[in-house]
Every structure is written in structure tokens, then in C-alpha cells.
Amino acid sequence: MKKVEQSDAAENQQIATLMDPTETQKLPSHKLPSLNTTAISATSTPAVVEKPVVVEKAQEKKEAKKEKKAVQRSSPMPSKRALEEAQMLRIRCKQLCVSTFFQSHVPIRSLGFTSAISGEGKSFLARMAAESLADDDSVAVTLLECNWEHPSFNTDFNLAHGPGLAEWLRQECSLDAIRRPTQRNLTVIPAGESKNNAIGLLRAFHQRGVLDVLTRPNEVVIVDLPAITTTPYGQLAASMADSLILVVRMGVTPASFITEANSLLKDLPVQGSIFNSVVSQVPRWLRQVL
């Protein structure tokens, strides 16, 4: 009987030993392989570090899309028709320059763009003519702003602040200081500050000659002139160019001003007139054929 009780007590002691956690700590410890430890640390660390990076990149992409949409709203893409008309305008301006500078029996090196009143697009057309002609590698062009009433070249060409034609005529700076290269064959000369002495500056310019602003042998100059009828010195400025183009904005310029402009220019070398903002009555398909 005692043997049975002893055997039962031994079994109970073995069970208690297996269930007691203090006893399991006495068992020999087995280290995990180093490979498994490395794998766990490698997979856990990026989960903590890369998560905010992904969020930041997503946020940057979202902001970039917003900026792109804002730019598209502020400056919508021109239509195909507008691009075609702009290209055709460049071609016409270049044809005009070629016929003026290279097909005339009399050597011409200066072409002036003027108008009857302000706002007829002469500055835009002068710029377009200069840029289109400068696309030819063999032609060096200087675009001269001789309009102190409404100067725009500093803004149009994003020029840094500096002297212009007026400062050079007053002998305050060198010629190189006012010549601003904007592309390979195009140099721009802004008007500068006239200091309410435009007529005096033009008289000094007449004595020197418009070609004095050129530095290369075969260079030509396109001049943005002031309006003829609404500027006190418009006729005086126009008399400096070898050839003139009168710009008329259809439907805007009153007929009386056009008549007066032609009268003021009758003794000057006017090559022709450009009618700006004309709505053609010829069908588009026929204009393409022509």
C-alpha cells in the first residue's frame, strides 16, 4: 500500500515539475539561428522607416499635379488653328524682311515699323519680323526700340535692368552695354530712360545715324517706332529708317487717323502697309491651297 502511495506521489511530483515555469528555466537554452534574427530585423526596420517616405512622395506628386493644373488653367494650350496662324504670320514677316533687305535695288539695312495710333500691334510685328529673320543662320539682326512713349522690350524679352538707347545717346555708357543678345543671331536694344527729352535724343541720333548701333558688317536693324499721329516725335523718328511699314489695325483705327498718317509719311520711304487683325473672307481650305 505504501509503495502505491509512493509511486503516486512521484508521478504527481513529475507533473508539477513539468507545469512549474521556474523549472522550465532550468532547461538548456537554444539560441535562434543568426540568419533568422537578421531576417526579422531586416523586415521590421524598413516597415518603420519607409512608410513615411512613401507618404511624402505621394504628397509631392499630389502637389505637383495641383501646380500643373493651375498652370494649365492660367495659360491654356493654343488651338491647332491658332498655331497654324502664328506660323503663317512668322512666314509672312520673314518674306517681308527678305523682300526689303535682299531684293531691293537700293541697299537697305534698316526697316521701321510705325502706326497711326498706339495699340495697333506694330511692336509685336516688329518683334515677330526680327525673330523670324534671325532664325536664318546667315543673318544677324538687331531689334531697336525707339519708342519712349510705350517701351515694352524689357518686359517682352525679360531683360535685366540696365541702360538703353537713351543712355548711349547721352554718352553715359558704351554700345556694348546696351546691346542685349537674346538668341544666336538676335540682339535687342531697349529704349532706356528719355528723361522727357525724346526730341533732343532723336536729333543726336540723326547726327550719328541709326546704323551706328550695329557692330557686324552684314547686320540689319529693325526699329520699333512710335505712333505717327499721337506722338510728338513720331515723324522725326520715322525719318531715320531706310524703309517703313505702316501697321493698321482693322476695325480699330479711325479712317481719319489713317489718312493723317499717310499724309505725314508721304515724303518718307514707305514700303507698304500691314492690315492687322483682318478676318479673311476666303474659306480656310482655300487659304491652305493658296
| DSSP per-residue string spanning 77-103 | PPPHHHHHHHHHHHHHHHHHHHHHHTS
Is it the case that residue 210 has pLDDT exceeding 80?
Answer: yes
pTM: 0.69
DSSP state of 112: E
Cα(89)–Cα(216) distance, rounded to whole angstroms? 28
pLDDT at residue 276 in the model: 78
Q: What angle do CA 109, 106, 246 make, to 5 degrees?
A: 60
Cell numbers given for 51: 512608410
Q: Ranked by mean pLDDT, which of 16-20, 57-61, 125-129, 273-277 comes out on top? A: 125-129
3-state secondary structure of 209: coil
pLDDT at residue 277 in the model: 67
Q: Which of 177, 175, 126, 170 is nearest to 147 (CA)?
A: 126
Secondary element (H or E) of residue 250: none
pLDDT at residue 13 in the model: 52
pLDDT at residue 253 in the model: 87
* Position 57 confidence tier, pLDDT thresholds 50, 70, 90: low
3-state secondary structure of 43: helix
Q: What percentage of the chain carries pLDDT values higher than 90?
A: 50
C-beta of residue 264 within 8 angstroms of C-beta of residue 244: no
Contacts of residue 278, defined as CB under 8 A and 6 or more positions apart, other chains included, come to 250
Listed in order, strand segments (DSSP E) in 91-242 are 110-115, 141-145, 180-183, 186-189, 220-224
Segment 126-152 shows an average pLDDT of 93
**Is 79 or 152 the better-scoring residue by pLDDT?**
152
Question: End-to-end CA distance of the chain, in Å?
Answer: 129
DSSP state of 31: P
Q: Ranked by mean pLDDT, which of 28-37, 42-51, 84-93, 245-254 comes out on top? A: 245-254
**Is 135 or 51 the better-scoring residue by pLDDT?**
135
CA-based radius of gyration for the chain: 40
Q: What angle do CA 112, 168, 197 make, to 5 degrees?
A: 75
pLDDT at residue 37 in the model: 43
Q: Ranked by mean pLDDT, which of 16-20, 102-106, 189-193 comes out on top? A: 189-193
Q: Does domain 80-289 have CATH number 3.40.50.300?
A: yes
Cα(54)–Cα(60) distance, rounded to whole angstroms? 10
Segment 192-207 shows an average pLDDT of 94
pLDDT at residue 245 in the model: 95
pLDDT at residue 84 in the model: 80
Mean pLDDT of the chain: 79
Is it the case that residue 175 has pLDDT exceeding 80?
Answer: yes
Cα(108)–Cα(178) distance, rounded to whole angstroms? 23
Segment 134-160 shows an average pLDDT of 92
Cα(211)–Cα(219) distance, rounded to whole angstroms? 9
Segment 26-40 shows an average pLDDT of 44
pLDDT at residue 83 in the model: 79
**Is 15 or 257 the better-scoring residue by pLDDT?**
257
Burial class (CB in 10 A: 0-12, 13-18, 19+), 89: middle
Q: Give the least confident one: 114-118, 184-188, 247-251.
A: 247-251
Is it the case that residue 159 has pLDDT exceeding 60?
Answer: yes
3-state secondary structure of 158: coil
Is it the case that residue 30 has pLDDT exceeding 60?
Answer: no
* Cell 478676318 sits on residue: 279
Segment 177-192 shows an average pLDDT of 95
Own/partner contacts of 203-208, CB < 8 Å, gap of 24 or more, are 203/236, 204/169, 205/146, 205/165, 205/169, 205/240, 206/236, 206/239, 206/240, 208/169
pLDDT at residue 138 in the model: 84
Is it the case that residue 46 has pLDDT exceeding 90?
Answer: no
Distances (CA, A) of 50 to 40, 43, 44, 55: 16, 11, 11, 9
**Is 169 or 21 the better-scoring residue by pLDDT?**
169
